[in-house]
Amino acid sequence: MTTILVPYHQDERLAEDEIPVPADVTVEPRFPDGDVWPRITAVCDATAVAVAPVVADGAVPLVLSGDCLVAGGVIAGVQRAGLDPAVVWFDAHGDVHTLQTSTSGYLGGLALRLVTGAHPGKYADAFGLRPVSPERAVLADARDLDPAEAAYLAASATRRLPVAEIGAATVPPGPLVLHVDVDVVDAGELPGLRFPVPGGPSTDAVVAACARLTATGRVAAMHVACPWWPAADGARQAARARLLSRLVSRS
């Protein structure tokens, strides 16, 4: 397995140990000056450049970043290797806002919607992502939807499933990209998240769902997004390292 670290939240570089995992490759994009969108898509493009050769070699890259928006880069890298993946999106949130519906302005809250084709001029087109059709995207958990997101999903082909129901038979056929925002895990087990949501599945349940999908042999790449604040102390840092190592090994 090749572990690719993308130590960014949007265009902000994270501190050295903010994603405590040993990495084979660290992605360092070259940023244009100015607007945040070309800077975000520079991260996605550099991620795709790192992912594509690993997939083309028949290996499964594991990408770790600080930000859900990196998912598009992972998917684009898998596409550059000649595959047409569906997406399983583990997240406490829907991430299906548009610039018009977001009430917070947090761009990570648009991430899945961007991957499925929203605002292509700002995102997908900039790094050659072919948007994933909404019926080839499944939301795992997404227990904290804003009203506009609930309205969109009620009419969308993107399905929502509890983590316990995620498995070979319930996800789309063909190759898969797994996107796991660590905030899918119950906030009580993972303090210090940017957008904590209680009432979620345990770490064990999330790791088991990822393991069920890995066992299908259809996982082409995995992205673990860590939108958390810097760890407040050593115990919290150690807990994060344990979570990531379990997700990486899916056991």
Axis-axis angle for helices 71-80, 36-56 (nearest 10): 40
Q: Which of 49, 99, 97, 91 is nearest to 73 (CA)?
A: 49
Report d(CA 126, CA 40) in Å as an integer.
10
Note whether 183 binds ligand ARG by CB under 6 A: yes
Q: Per the structure block, which two tokens stand in for 25?
A: 């490759």
Choose the binding region for ligand ARG from 22-30, 49-57, 88-96, 242-250 (rule: CB under 6 A). 88-96
Note whether 146 binds ligand ARG by CB under 6 A: yes
Note whether 20 binds ligand ARG by CB under 6 A: no
| Residue number with CB closer to ligand ARG (11 or 181) | 181
Residue nearest to ligand ARG according to CB distances in the complex? 109
Report d(CA 110, CA 134) in Å as an integer.
14
Note whether 104 binds ligand ARG by CB under 6 A: yes
Note whether 187 binds ligand ARG by CB under 6 A: no
Tell me what percent of the chain is helix, strand and coil, each rounded to the nearest 5: 40, 20, 40
Report d(CA 131, CA 203) in Å as an integer.
30
Choose the binding region for ligand ARG from 21-29, 58-66, 97-105, 155-163 (rule: CB under 6 A). 97-105
**Residues in contact with ligand ARG by the rule CB under 6 A:** 68, 91, 93, 95, 97, 102, 104, 106, 108-109, 146, 181, 183, 195, 227
